[in-house]
Every structure is written in structure tokens, then in C-alpha cells.
Structure 1
């Protein structure tokens, strides 16, 4: 059973590019102000270093890349709503080819957990339809591709950051005429934002064939087919921490490993040879439905489950050491990234790059059982091709000349308690912070909306330092309606912003 598109190794993204028409996709690596950095002083090429981060140069080694985070839903005019906790892994191997590229072979398994109890769900009561839905785990096999170039990189004080951002637009495997309950339309649409952080000194100075990474993954997508939402308006949003499990499968949670050993034993190792075609959540769901129809069975089969088993009360909380750093004032962070378009059925276009500094202020909101983050500072806008600072730009979508907003920026984000929490990651010796929130118009006027994410990484060795001298890094991302100054209210779609931040 297969249910959602996700792959830390990026192989699925590359495979889509190879298997489909180039005009159907727009792979947009983050253009950074510092340009592409070559790692010098080591016996590895840039591509080899990229492989060392995502996997291993040893073709006999299976690498486990883990993820843990949350899935949210949002309908027009409504707040972001937490639906699931989301946990699993990708297991992969990399095989060098004669032309110097690498064949990436992998499979992935992820479960959906009930947020308050952490129970792995088999049945979900859909809050929008009030129907019981059969949940399909993520069980994608194979997930293979050729990697022949590294993602663009940038360097912070101690880390190399590989960024890869992709807007996917391709024919939906679940055509609306045959799968109307499960298809959002003829075109599959999603946006994937990846960032992989690896210690620069470790990557430069060691000869290890595999090096640790910590990453962030943020995604906007259509409803999953098993939710039976058809063409109803709304989207799903994912935010997770990702990391390499240096200890292999021993870092996988016990209840997931029980499922693997009993029902999915091949997910204990990476594939050893290429198989075709690649599978996605939508294609495997289609196979299950087709098999059931051929056998004369209902499309959806709700399993009988003991809903009282394995229940434990979950508490979303923020590590006190992280709060100690974020409570410090003044706390200054720098950010750089870019903004681009997401228009259903059309190739994405990068509008401009962004660079800025912010004062970061965290406020506890006990009366709302949450937190507020205020960012005050400035942003400069730079041409995506030349890197030069700009005040005006010709909008590539409308052809109009737009005046960019003032450089001063002041924004407030209010996070509910269940949408702002930390995850301890011993494999990477870091603590990850995940935050998600939204703002929206009214049901009568839903034209002004945004969904915002703040995913930060705090190395263990920084947590013990005085707050004002402690360093951290991560990703800020936003999906939102077109800003008014773009004069694009009649254009369907939205703007996507991703910033890499560090302190």
C-alpha cells in the first residue's frame, strides 16, 4: 500500500524529470547569494560529497534516512488544522555508474499517527466529510533514479546546506472519470521544499563514505486519495525534521518495526538492482483499487481495529534549552532564499531572491496555550539571474512592471501548542523545532491567506552556551495568496517563499 509522495534522497524528483516531458516539471534549486560552493581540501568531488550526505559511497551499505513531523489540512477561510503525526524512513543505497553518476536505489515506509495518542492509525474519521476513511501507509517501492549532479549548496558558519525545491505538475494517475472520489483533477500538483544540513568540517576533512545530515522537508499537496475528498477545495501541508540514522534501523520506532517485520520485510534493506517503474502514492493506490474492482470487492474496505490498543497520552512541548535560547533578547538572525510562483498546470517561475536580517522575539501565550514569534528587520530583493539588488521588476506572469515593497519587514506568527514542538535527534546530536501556523480571510472572502513554517535545528553543543552566543539554523517557508502589490488577484495560484536562516 502506498500513500504519499516523499523521498529524502531526492531520487524520485530526478526520476520524474527523466520519465516525463521537460515542460511538465520545473525543478528549481534554490539560488543563493553566495553562489555554488566547491568543497576544497578533500578527496571528493561535489557530487561525491552530495552522495556522502544523502547516502553512502559504499554500494554495499543500506542507509536509513528518518523523518518525523506533522500533517496539517487547510480549507479556504479556515485555520490550519493538525491531522496526523507523520513518521517513517527511506532506506537507500547508491551505486556508482561508469559515467561517474550514481544510481540511487531506495524504498520508503511512513505511518500516520493520531496526534494525541501517537497510535498508528488504520482508520481515520475525516473531520470534513464525517466519514471513516481507510488509511494507507506510505509503502513506496521502488524509488529509484540517476543522480549526476549535486544540489546547489551554500555555507553557513559551520554547515553546508544543500537545497532542492520543486514544483510538480503532471497528469494525475487517478483520472477523474474513473476515480472521481479519489482524484482532485486531471493534473497532480504539489510543492516540495528540501534542505539538507551537513557539518562542513566533517565533510571536508574526513574520508568517511557516509556523513551525518539533518534536514527539513516542507510540502504542500492535494488531499491524499484515500481521504475521498474528490475536488473539494483545500490542501495538505507537511512539515518534518529529517536525518540520517547512523545506527541504521535501530533508530526506527518499535511499533513501526513490528509492522515491517510482520508485513513489509523487504523494507529492512535497500534494493540492490534497478526496477521499473517507480511507484508513488497515487499509482499504488490506483493498483489497490483496480485489484479490488477486478475481484468484485468494494474500493474502500474499513478494517476492524481495536481503537483502545497502544494508546498513550502525548504532550507537545518545547525543550527548555531551546526556549532558553529563543527567549534571549536581542536575537538576530540572517536569512536568504527566494520566491516563486505556483500556478496549477503551469511551469513555476522564480520572481526574485531575498536577503535580510531579522530581530527574533518569542513570546509565551499561556492564555492561548501557544507561542508568538515576531520578526522585525529588513529584506533586500535581488535579480534571480544576476544577483543584483532591485527595487522594481517585470512580473514574468503578467508582464507588468511592479514596485517591490519597502525593505522593512514586521510579521507576527501565532502558533498553537500542538503545532510548535521539539524533537530530540540523537543520531545527529541536535534538537529540531517544528512550527506551523496559518492566517486566512473569511469564508466570504478567502482571497488573503498564508500558511507559514519555521523549522529550526539546535546542535547539542550550542544548547549549553549562553543564549546570545548560541548558534542555530533552519528553514522559514510560506505558501500564500498573491501579495496585493503584484496585482495578480485574477490569476489562480499562489506565491511560495523559502528562506534559509541562521543565527
Structure 2
């Protein structure tokens, strides 16, 4: 879901070049050595400051990007009609990514540490979490597995006075920037599980538009300050990707994809998430009430399903579908 992509070799090179970088500032003394503030304070580029504030709060506390949208069937030639019509709304999605900025102690290296939990909900009622879904192709009913990625970590970013962000544009009274990401992951090769994907390769397109009001930009990009709270940010997100793994639709046989279209907005903390959504998380996914506190390997929807539903390869996706689908 909300995932930047960094080439591992580049990240390693950045780490090796930067690990000897001095601690950010003299006023770091006595402060939590993982606090991002002293490093953030050195950034002079406006875009750099804005992009870092989407990665996490400069004051080092958790923040949330609330996510709300819909999921549609994208079927070439409407070839699955009438069972599964092109453009049909299949689900709403409701959830969030909870994140924080983390500094490697005594360096200028920052990570974004996050977890994300997004529920598939009733297409007619966004607040009703779906527990099961009837596959219109094989007429079997499967449990609905939410997007539950623990963790989603990015970095390291070497953040110094020369750190710069993406190109910015001004649209009316908002500053905007984009991030379009083509994703290709060979799960057949890396996990030994093909998930019914064509060639065992997950191929998707993720597109993000970020916007911040010009008054918020002015208030949060002053020289030398470390803003408190989360920057008021709006995000438009779209993704085209294969059928979700719980749907038990092999892409190689049932040609089609999903299109996700969602909006996201920043919240200061988990406490600002709506009560109905917090209740669902606390009852069934309590890990997702806070961001991670240390770096570690990342998950996406597919590797998360592999780890949690398939027991890291103890069973296959095809066998999971056979065991969990009921007439």
C-alpha cells in the first residue's frame, strides 16, 4: 500500500558512505539518539522539508495517514461479464498507515518506520468490515484478509543540509508533488510461491499525488525549526494490481486486475482515528496501534499473506484456497 521503493544496493551504498557521518547537532546532547529533529533541522531545501514531513513527524512521535477509498474490477474486454463485470465496485477500503521517523544513532541517516492496516469493507457501507467474500467465478466463499503489513520501512535517507525533495508545483493555493511507481516483484523466484500470477511475477502501478495548503507550507518550512505534530497533507492514491490473494482468482487463468482509488489525509496520532476503526483494530489487530520502534524487513500485501496465511511456505496458496473456500 503506501510504499516507496528503494534499490537495496543504493541503500547499502548510502549507508556505507554515511555511517561515519557525525551526529547532527550539538543540541542533540541528552536527547534520545534516535530523535529525527536534530537531523531534520539541518535541511534547507523546501521540498526536502515537505517530503520528510510526509515520512513522519519531525518531533519523532507517531503520525497516521488515514486511507479511504474503493476497489474496482478491471477486466480486459469485459470478458468475465456477467459474473464479474468490468468497472464493478467490489469493495470499499478503510484503514491507515501509522509511521514515525527514526534516526540511526550518531548518524545523519533517517528511516521511515511504519505499519499499515487496511480493511476491505462492504461496497455499500464503508464502516462494515467484510469477513468473507463470495467469488463469482468459482461460486465459493473465502475469508477476507485485510491488508496488514508489518512492517513497511524505507531508508536509509542521508539527511544533511544538501538533502533535496521531489519537484514541486503550485496549483491554486496548494503545493503539490507526485510519485508514480511501477512495481515488479518475482514472488515465484523469491518466495517459491507463484500465487497464480502470470510468470509468478507481481506487476502493479502505484500513483500518488501529495498536496499541502500554502499556509501550511509557510508555517512548517521555516529555517532551523522542528515542527510539532503532523503536517496537514492530502494524498490521492491509485493502484492497478492483480487480484488480492484472498480472492483465490489466479491471474494466469482469470485475466483481470483490481483498480484501487483512494484518498488519504494526515492525522496527528492514532487517537485521531475514528472510534469504529480503532475498535476493529484493537479487537483483532492490536499491533497496529503504534509504529515500529526499530528497522526491519518490510512486507507488502503478498508477502504478508505468505508469512501470515501460508505459514511462510508451510502451505501453498492453491492449498489455502482449497482449504478455506466453502461452497
What range describes the TM-score normalised by the shorter chain of this pair? 0.7 to 0.9
Q: Which moved more, 1:234-243 or 1:69-78?
A: 69-78
Structure 1 length-normalised TM: 0.49
Q: How far off is 1:101 after superposition?
A: 4.2
Larger Rg computed on CA atoms? 1
The count of aligned residue pairs is: 270
Q: How far off is 1:168 after superposition?
A: 1.0
Structure with higher helix content: 2
Structure 2 distance, partners of 1:115, 1:174, is 35
For 1:312-323, list aligned pairs within 5 A.
none
Q: Which residue is 1:190 aligned to?
A: 204
Computed over aligned residues only, the root mean square deviation of the Cα atoms, in angstroms, reads 3.1
Structure 2 distance, partners of 1:293, 1:211, is 41
Task: Tell me the alpha carbon deviations over residues 175-219 of structure 1, each in whole angstroms, 9 at most, x when there is no partner.
Answer: 89x656643432210000001101223222345343110110011
Q: Which residue is 2:51 aligned to?
A: 50
Tell me if the contact between 1:72 and 1:81 (Cα under 8 Å) persists in the aligned partners. yes
For 1:113-192, list aligned pairs within 5 A.
113-118=121-126, 119-146=128-155, 147-148=157-158, 149-173=164-188, 179=193, 182-192=196-206
For 1:410-449, list aligned pairs within 5 A.
none
For 1:320-359, list aligned pairs within 5 A.
none
Structure 1 distance, partners of 2:140, 2:149, is 26
Task: Return the match for 2:261 from 208, 222, 239.
Answer: 239
Structure 2 distance, partners of 1:77, 1:202, is 45
Q: How far off is 1:274 after superposition?
A: 0.8
Structure 1 distance, partners of 2:270, 2:183, is 31
The residue matched to 1:48 in structure 2 has which SS?
A: helix
Q: Which residue is 1:250 aligned to?
A: 271
Q: Which residue is 1:263 aligned to?
A: 284
1:105/1:136 Cα in 2 relative to 1: closer, same or farther (>3 Å)? same
Q: How far off is 1:253 after superposition?
A: 3.4
For 1:376-387, list aligned pairs within 5 A.
none
Structure 1 distance, partners of 2:180, 2:313, is 37
Q: Is 2:216 the counterpart of 1:205?
A: no
Q: Which residue is 2:311 aligned to?
A: 291
Q: How far off is 1:66 after superposition?
A: 0.6
Q: Which residue is 1:89 aligned to?
A: 96
Structure 1 distance, partners of 2:256, 2:315, is 33
Q: Which moved more, 1:287-296 or 1:116-125?
A: 287-296
The residue matched to 1:14 in structure 2 has which SS?
A: coil
1:182/1:287 Cα in 2 relative to 1: closer, same or farther (>3 Å)? farther
Q: How far off is 1:289 after superposition?
A: 4.5
Structure with higher strand content: 1
Q: Which residue is 1:273 aligned to?
A: 294
1:116/1:88 Cα in 2 relative to 1: closer, same or farther (>3 Å)? same
Q: How far off is 1:159 after superposition?
A: 1.4
Q: How far off is 1:145 after superposition?
A: 1.2
Q: Which residue is 1:379 aligned to?
A: none
Structure 2 length-normalised TM: 0.73
Structure 1 distance, partners of 2:102, 2:193, is 38
Q: Is 2:238 the counterpart of 1:222?
A: no
Greater RCO (CA < 8 Å, at least 6 residues apart): 2
1:284/1:132 Cα in 2 relative to 1: closer, same or farther (>3 Å)? same
1:198/1:180 Cα in 2 relative to 1: closer, same or farther (>3 Å)? closer
The residue matched to 2:278 in structure 1 has which SS?
A: helix
